[in-house]
Structure 1
Amino acid sequence: MLKISKRLMGIFEQIGNGHRVADIGSDHALLPVYLIQSGKSPFVIAGELNPGPLAAARKQVRDAGLSSRIDVREGNGLSVLSAGEVDAITIAGMGGGLIRDILEEGLRQGKLEGVTELVLQPNVGEDLVRRWLVKENWYLTGEQIIEEDGKTYEILHAVRSDRAKELNDELYNPDRIQLNDGGKLSQEWLYTLGPWLVSEPVEVWKKKWESELCKLEKICIKLSESDAAESREKEAAFREEIRQIREVLDCLPTAKR
């Protein structure tokens, strides 16, 4: 049986049993092959736009003897799908803005018809994905953060629900998270930090945000070397962001391992 990375395993674990899956931006089709070999999915569409990975995906599927159950298709985003073909869609390894745009375009084209589950792994801009899910009445049922080869990845699992608005209002309610100092997290910070991740912070999550603080500090140092008024304003804004993140990290319950 094929071996897959910790990141792909995290995505695999979020997909519902028996679902027909479309893996968008499938690269070498490792996840589709594993889904079939494991018995979790009966049929997978592997969508890929770039010629190199597309050829690699076709070879991977052919070598695994799974050409009848994995359809490798060339195309951009959800254009590779027809309405009602799959139950679940996975999109991983892209920026949050691109994932949002792919979903939005697919929605306009009717490609999300029949889809009941989304498993999304943005490399950056996770808040953009969370906002889109709320806007389009998808409920974020859970979040996972993992570390592999020195990088952290957030995996978001969302489902269609008739109660999506009610559930999302509760999930992003600032009153839901109580900080140790008695304060509350704003809705904006819940979108940024992750409403589930911040509820039970783990060490990997805290490590990610400590790293973000270091990056912001370096930006501030660079900006401080400039005499331009615009640089002063940007530095002040970043300093305030650093202060707010630090305040949240210091006031959250102790991170779990």
Structure 2
Amino acid sequence: MLNSKRLTAIADYVAQGARVADIGSDHALLPIELVSRGTCPSAIAGEVNDGPLEAARRGIAAAGLGRVINARKGNGLEVLQPGEADTVTIAGMGGALIVSILEAGRQTGKLEGVSQLVLQPNVGEELVRSWLLEQGWLLAEESILEEDGKYYEIVHALRQADAAARNEAIYGGEPLLNNLTADDDRQLKLKLGPFLARSKQPVFIEKWRSELHKMKRIEAQIGQSVTEDASKRREAMAKEIKVIEEVLECTQTGMS
């Protein structure tokens, strides 16, 4: 059993019987859990660095799962053959790195046959959502949790024929705030998460209160500069802060 709320939440998204590839698997904790709980009959653990790869192999051997979990060395989705996995999990990386892995995999055919993505970016969540939207993946679910003083968002995406229409309903439907343009509303949903922003979860509010504190500190630092560029940056950040504060206010009002 995993001693991690984050990894447990990721594992819970993986469909029964999935052929999973965990990229950046580190100690292979997620593949070991998925096979041990009977979710996956087999799994691939991909690692680019020798240290984590050896740690993964030791963990797999200790769990007695060497015949069904294959630890492979390679950069991102290079460890896969097209059609070898139907589910890819990538966790604990920045959003930009996750996107670069997915895009490289898309361009080389490594995502062929993959119908489910479970992604947990540590930062840059909006980059992940943007890539999924651009590439026609359905944003199926999102979740947010706190563990050891850090906030984690998990994005679950599916490859479905009606993804474009359903994504349009998600990102182009009812706005988070009535005073936003359609484009600004879409950008805000990409940043906050369209499902999370409406979830009214205390952990979502806590995360964005913390983020607002950081943003206001940066805004104050920018304000110390008198250049035209700094003035524009501060104005843009002040606008973003105001919008996020309004979303949180609406969310809290909805909770009361």
CA apart distance, 1:227: 3.7
Matched residue SS, 1:251 = helix
In the alignment, residue 111 of structure 1 is paired with which amino acid? K
Could you state the TM-score of these two structures normalised by the residue count of structure 2? 0.93
Richer in helix (by share): 2
Inter-CA distance 91–247: structure 2 relative to 1 (3 Å threshold) = same
Overall identity of the aligned pairs, in %:
48
Consecutive unaligned residues of structure 1, counting only runs of 5 or more, are none
Consecutive unaligned residues of structure 2, counting only runs of 5 or more, are none
Distance of 1:86 and 1:4 partners within structure 2: 26
The aligned residue for residue 35 of structure 1 is 34
Matched residue SS, 1:248 = helix
Matching of residues 106-255 of structure 1 within 5 Å: 106-173=105-172, 175-177=173-175, 179=177, 183=179, 186-252=185-251, 254=253
Inter-CA distance 242–63: structure 2 relative to 1 (3 Å threshold) = same
The aligned residue for residue 100 of structure 1 is 99
CA apart distance, 1:101: 1.1
Distance of 1:103 and 1:81 partners within structure 2: 12
CA apart distance, 1:105: 0.6
The aligned residue for residue 15 of structure 1 is 14
Matched residue SS, 1:26 = coil
Conservation of the 8 A alpha-carbon contact between 1:83 and 1:114: yes
Distance of 1:251 and 1:36 partners within structure 2: 42
- Tell me how large the CA RMSD over aligned residues is: 1.8
Count of residues paired in the alignment = 253
Conservation of the 8 A alpha-carbon contact between 2:197 and 2:247: no
Distance of 1:213 and 1:28 partners within structure 2: 34
In the alignment, residue 168 of structure 2 is paired with which amino acid? D
The aligned residue for residue 59 of structure 1 is 58
CA apart distance, 1:253: 5.3
Distance of 2:62 and 2:252 partners within structure 1: 49
Q: Which moved more, 1:224-233 or 1:197-206?
A: 224-233
Conservation of the 8 A alpha-carbon contact between 1:119 and 1:156: yes
CA apart distance, 1:226: 3.1
CA apart distance, 1:207: 0.8
Conservation of the 8 A alpha-carbon contact between 2:142 and 2:153: yes
